[in-house]
Structures are given as C-alpha cells and as structure tokens.
Structure 1
Amino acid sequence: MGAFIAEVALRWSDMDAFGHVNHARTVTLLEEARAGLLFTEAERQGLSGMAEGMVVARVVIDYHAPLVYRAGAIQVRMSVRDLRAASFVIDYTATAGDAASVATAETLMVPYDLAAGRPRRLTDGEREFLAEWQLDPALTNKERDLA
C-alpha cells in the first residue's frame, strides 16, 4: 500500500527557549502520528485491540534540520518493517512545509497484554493490517520517502 501519512499540529508550547521544537516534544509529535496509524486507522479497519496494548521498546531519532514552531502542522510519513510474531518497527520521516525532512526516526513496537502484564504475539488481523504499510525492501531510502 505504501506509507501512512499523518498531519500533526504543532503547538506553541512545543517550542523551547532556543526557538525550536525540542527532543521530548518531537517524541510526542511522533507518538501522535503513530496513534493515527495504530489506533485510529486500525480501529477504522475493525482492529480495536491495538489500542489496548502496544508499547515502545526502542526509539531512535536522527535530526536533519531544526524544527521551528510555526502555525500549522508537520507531515509524518510512516511505514512498517521487520514485521515479526511479537514485534515490528515503524519508520518515520517528518517534514515541515516545503523543507526536506527535519527528522527520521524508528520505533520498535511490542504488542502487550495489559491484564497479564507481559508481551504478547500479534494477532493474524494485526499482522495483516501492519503488512499493508510495509514498503518494498528493494527501495532506496529516497524512494521510500516518496512512497
């Protein structure tokens, strides 16, 4: 299918004393984008279980340019890779306005059983949903950004 694209509003409170969006707020913006995919879009497709237990096991962010506050939103393109029985990785490319990417990131996600207090396996439906957002591994990084 290609990348899932989320528009995430910037807030004045995202700006720090240096006039740009700081690291902690960037993580929150990516989290909001991810919720659009894993919770809103998944539920739209009949998969409400993802919102009931999904945890971040690792997050990595590479900054390419300062993200300065401006009225409006950033665009976050997301795709899935390394889809396994009990984990997957979401790749992100965040852009603002006409600028090239301001940041790229990845999160290692693990489905979690809140009642049992432990990780769980992805259901067949969750795996099928996530597979829709996988990009062709033969694509270059530039081609992935355009997908």
Structure 2
Amino acid sequence: MGAFVAEVALRWSDMDAFGHVNHARTVTLLEEARAELLFAEAGRQGLLGMAEGMVVARVTIDYHTPLVYSAGSLQVRMSVRELKAASFLVDYAAYAHDSVLAASAETLMVPYDLRAGRPRRLTEDERAFLSEWQVAIDGAELGRA
C-alpha cells in the first residue's frame, strides 16, 4: 500500500499578516490530515479505539516554500515510521496545488487512556492498521535529501 493521501481545504482565515498560511494554522491543517488517517480511515476499517485517545508528544515542521490561501487545498501524503509498543511517528509531505512541496513534518503520537489519564500500549489491531502505512516517503519528498 502507498502513502495515505488527504486533501485539506485552505481557508482565508489560515493566512497571517504576511499573506501566507500561519505556522499554527499549518499545524492544524496537518492535524486535520492526520485525523483522516487515524480516525476516519481507521473507523472505516472498524478500528474505533484510536479516536478515543491519541495524543501528540512532539511535532516538527520544515517549511520549503510559503503556502498561500490561493492554493485552494493542501495535499498531504502520510506514512508511519518507528512503530513501537506505545508510540509511532507520522511523516508528512504537504503539497500545494501546483505539486510544490510546501512543508514536510513528523509527529510523534502516543496512544492515551483518557479514563486512566496515562499513556497506553497500542493494541494488536492498531499496530496492524498502522503497519499498513509503513511506507517510505523518500527523502527528497520530505525535503531531507
């Protein structure tokens, strides 16, 4: 299976005073794309537990070109890396409408038990789902070549 691809609409309100999408809004756009993978796609496959507790432990973003509202949408290609017992990394390559790499990012995700108020281990079903998306997005695509 290839990378998971989500299309995220850009909003006029995402822009800042400099005419490009604000950093905090970029984080939100990546979150929307990630929710498509971890919540919507997982739910379509009958896996509902991820939507009940998954937290961000770290996020890093590298910007390659300014992202502007006129791009219309952002195509975000995601893959999973470093799948461990109680954490995993999501890699992102985010493209503007003209197929230009706008940003690359990674998010360290930790499954979380909301009732107990503490991290938990991934279930076998969650691990199986996430392993479907363990594909290499090449270094050039992530701006790390």
TM over 0.5: yes
Structure 1 unaligned segments of length 5 or more: list them. none
Aligned residue number for residue 106 of structure 2: 106
Q: Report the identity percentage.
A: 76
2:140 maps to a residue whose letter is K
Question: Any conservation in 1 of the 2:8–2:29 contact (CA below 8 Å)?
Answer: yes
Aligned residue number for residue 142 of structure 1: 140
Aligned residue number for residue 7 of structure 1: 7
Structure 2 unaligned segments of length 5 or more: list them. none
Question: Any conservation in 2 of the 1:135–1:144 contact (CA below 8 Å)?
Answer: no
Q: CA deviation at 1:2?
A: 1.7
Aligned-partner Cα distance in 2 for 1:5–1:122: 23
Aligned-partner Cα distance in 2 for 1:75–1:94: 6
Aligned positions, number: 143
Aligned-partner Cα distance in 1 for 2:70–2:132: 33
- Computed over aligned residues only, the root mean square deviation of the Cα atoms, in angstroms, reads 1.6
Q: CA deviation at 1:123?
A: 0.3
TM-score by length of 1: 0.93
2:68 is the counterpart of 1:68? yes
Moved over 4 A (4+): none
Question: Any conservation in 2 of the 1:80–1:90 contact (CA below 8 Å)?
Answer: yes
Aligned residue number for residue 44 of structure 1: 44
TM-score by length of 2: 0.94
Q: CA deviation at 1:27?
A: 0.1
Would the alpha carbon gap of residues 7 and 50 (structure 1) be closer, same or farther in structure 2, given more than 3 Å must change?
same
Q: CA deviation at 1:99?
A: 3.7
